Structure 1
């Protein structure tokens, strides 16, 4: 196992190595936008973000700020030790689909109860995701759903050789 070398944050930046474990859920008023197949499916200032050691934030969107007609629930499930069982959505806009591209917690654990039915999206499966107008970089690898912006520094879990962190 390689020990990560923490990048020291500059003023106005956050280090994912200062995030807690177990993770913390917090409200954010940052402007979140998600576009898929040239359609804005998310536009909100009412997201929540989950902050966990070594991970860039995952943003969860209230269903009322999502064009839910583009989300189709799938049979896929998974389990998070912190948040509980998750369900998934395929995103469909016109003739284009992204399978299992978003997830949600229908019955989250008590510490994450306010996350109920909020939806998070894999940035690498969307055309573009923005936080306050800045284009998001997806967390490395295809397993995690964190969003990297210029105000977040790592290194980030998800790249080859980081699974043991």
Structure 2
């Protein structure tokens, strides 16, 4: 699977995990140079608190377009620290 934004592959993995129709990419499969930590947080009732990244490609930013669970709940441990995308990031094979 590939995550693409601004015509650039920002993550690529054969080991994604699908939860609620989102592909979660292993953290080591994201291209770190495109990811900036964000202060934004949200809470999922069953997965826990999500942290976010802003994606920056060629000076264009997509704020809070990637999220992950640094301390996932017991039920969501399989995706702890895996990264998922939204906000116009295309995920495809």
TM-score by length of 1: 0.54
Residues matched between the structures, number: 93
In 2, the alpha carbon distance for the partners of 1:34 and 1:78 equals: 22
Q: Secondary structure at the match of 1:76?
A: strand
On the 8 A contact 2:52/2:64 being kept in 1, the answer is yes
| 2:28 match | 64
Q: 1:1-165 alignment to 2 at 5 Å? A: 32-51=1-20, 57-122=21-86, 124-126=87-89, 128-130=90-92, 132=93
CA deviation vs aligned residue, 1:55-87 (integer Å, no higher than 9, x gap): xx1111001111022111111100000100011
Q: Which runs of 5+ in 2 are unaligned?
A: none
Q: Which runs of 5+ in 1 are unaligned?
A: 1-31, 52-56, 133-165
TM-score by length of 2: 0.92
RMSD value, Cα: 1.2
Runs of 4+ in 1 over 2 A off after TM superposition: none
Q: Secondary structure at the match of 1:125?
A: coil
CA deviation vs aligned residue, 1:114-145 (integer Å, no higher than 9, x gap): 211111000x422x321x3xxxxxxxxxxxxx
Q: CA deviation at 1:95?
A: 1.1
In 2, the alpha carbon distance for the partners of 1:101 and 1:115 equals: 17
| 1:6 match | none
